[in-house]
Amino acid sequence: MSETRVFLLPDLGEGLTEAELVSWHVAVGDEISVDQPIAEVETAKSTVEVPSPYAGIVAELHGQPGETLDVGKPLISVTPVSVAGTAADDAAPAEPAGPVVEPAETELGEPAAEPAKAHPEAEAYREEEKAGSGNVLIGYGTPGGHGVARRTRARRSSVALAEPVDTKPAETPTEDDLTLLRTRVPGRLGAVISPLVRRMAREHGVDLGELPGSGEGGLIMRRDVEKAIHAPVVEPAETKPVETKTAEPAAAPEGVDARTGLPIAARTPVRGVRKAVAANMARSRSEIPEATVWVDVDATGLLELREGLKAGGSSVPGLLAFIARFVTAGLKKYPELNTRIETASDGSQEIVSFDGVNLGIAAQTDRGLVVPSVRAAEKLTSRELDAEIRRLTDVARQGKATPTELGSGTFTLNNYGVFGVDGSAAIINHPEVAILGVGRIIDKPWVVNGELAVRKVTELTLTFDHRVCDGGTAAGFLRFVADAIENPTTLLADL
């Protein structure tokens, strides 16, 4: 008799640890096929449909719409449709019937050493894997898909291969260890971590995404986690008062706020994109010593240039695309603003520079503020930038932007003028070091050649990390972009 298989919620991109279940596409008792979409989930970065790696009858749905599920926890249980007289039935092991949790996959680029006896669940999955699967999730690529990398299945005797030989006795990995293999480290796609190291980090609250690896190729070792565990931690002074305050509402009447005495109208959980934005903005403000400079700019020349191009009948990029061209040119002259600061476990810091610009475009969506980025923006013309900005904005608003598109920026351009405001001291999109804001373009009195005239004026605001540069560099970059807007033909010869 076929055993029920449990499909664990996979890592949907860049080390995300949870997702909100939006809706089920199947119900208990339905017969499903491999790669059939079974559920729609919303992560902190996008909304995706999750395909099933199994074919069979839906036995159980692990979660209700609106519920937040952890990566590596059960999502759906599927009972394969039994076929009489098959080799699998004849060779079924004499073990108690029960749910089988599929072994997790490693992140290694080549297969692990073959153990003396393969895990029965892994052997069973290989037969299914031969059929191929077109839809690919991170950690679930298949050889039958379109140009995807082969998967390496983790066996019980080899799940800790990423960790070098230790003087301590080898530990036998549990199902919890296998589950941990599905979780990747944010920002460190190449740092393959053994499940033992991951569990040690989880139990002691160590953030692997911020931990530098001392092993070859940046591999995070057990000693790195142990060092972080024993490092002195200073608790914030406000911890105790906050704990005391959380107990106060219990004494208040139900539905009434204890501090204000007003009726509570609603409670909205902070999750999804809003949760990610809140965490990122709080981290930015707590870690980055930011400063802001701004300048009013006469954009009349740029608007006249666009009108002239329209009159010529050619395709004309949007204003934001022109400004994006000016920004990438400015970052080439002032590369300090296209960097990132990395902090080692010993407190030492490095400024990381990049050979290229991934220009983030802040986009307001129904799910919240997201920042998809135009990769290698410095290589694109104004028309190419316009097309890519429109594409990214569209997929972001649909909730379909990929984790790579949402998490790879090196500098952000924010057009808050669309909201009808002139300026804003924006918060830097951590871990970047600067963000340029553009206000609305309106008619203002302006002195031109000694005479007062009405011109099209906008305000540029640059917020920057004072650790990477001083005011002179920030002002130089801002003035460069402003001059380009006022005299656009100097930089737009390659439209």
- Which residues fall within 8 angstroms of residue 161, CB to CB, at 6 or more apart? 106, 108, 112, 113, 194
Interior CA angle at 362 toward 388 and 323, to 5°? Answer: 60
Q: Is-contact 429 406, C-beta < 8 A?
A: no
- Please choose, from the candidates 455, 459, 400, 476, the residue with its C-alpha nearest in 3D space to the C-alpha of residue 424: 459
Contact assessment for residue 119 and residue 102, using Cβ atoms and an 8 Å cutoff: no
Question: Degrees (nearest 5) of the Cα angle 215, 221, 227?
Answer: 115
C-alpha 292/C-alpha 425 separation (Å) is 7
- Is 466 labeled as catalytic in the residue annotation? yes
Question: 3-state secondary structure string, the chain?
Answer: CCCCEEEECCCCCCCCCEEEEEEECCCCCCEECCCCEEEEEECCCCEEEEECCCCEEEEEECCCCCCEEECCCEEEEEECCCCCCCHHHHCCCCCCCCCEECCCECCCCCCCCCCCCCCHHHHHHHHHHCCCCCCCCCCCCCCCCCCCCCCCECCCCCCCCCCCCCCCCCCCCCHHHHHHCCCCCCCCCCCCCCHHHHHHHHHCCCCHHHCCCCCHHHCCCHHHHHHHHHCCCCCCCCHHHHHHHHHHHHHCCCCECCCCCCECCCCCCCCHHHHHHHHHHHHHHHHCCEEEEEEEEECHHHHHHHHHHHHCCCCCCCHHHHHHHHHHHHHHHCHHHCEEEEECCCCCEEEEECCCCCEEECEEECCEEECCEECCHHHCCHHHHHHHHHHHHHHHHCCCCCHHHHHCCCEEEEEHHHHCCCCCCCCCCCCCCEEEEECCCEEEEEEECCEEEEEEEEEEEEEEECCCCCHHHHHHHHHHHHHHHHCHHHCCCCC
> Which residues are registered as beta bridge partners of 51?
37
Look at the block and give the residue holding tokens 């992560």: 43
7 alpha-carbon distance from chain centroid = 23
Distance CA 118, CA 261 (A): 64
Which residues carry out catalysis? 466
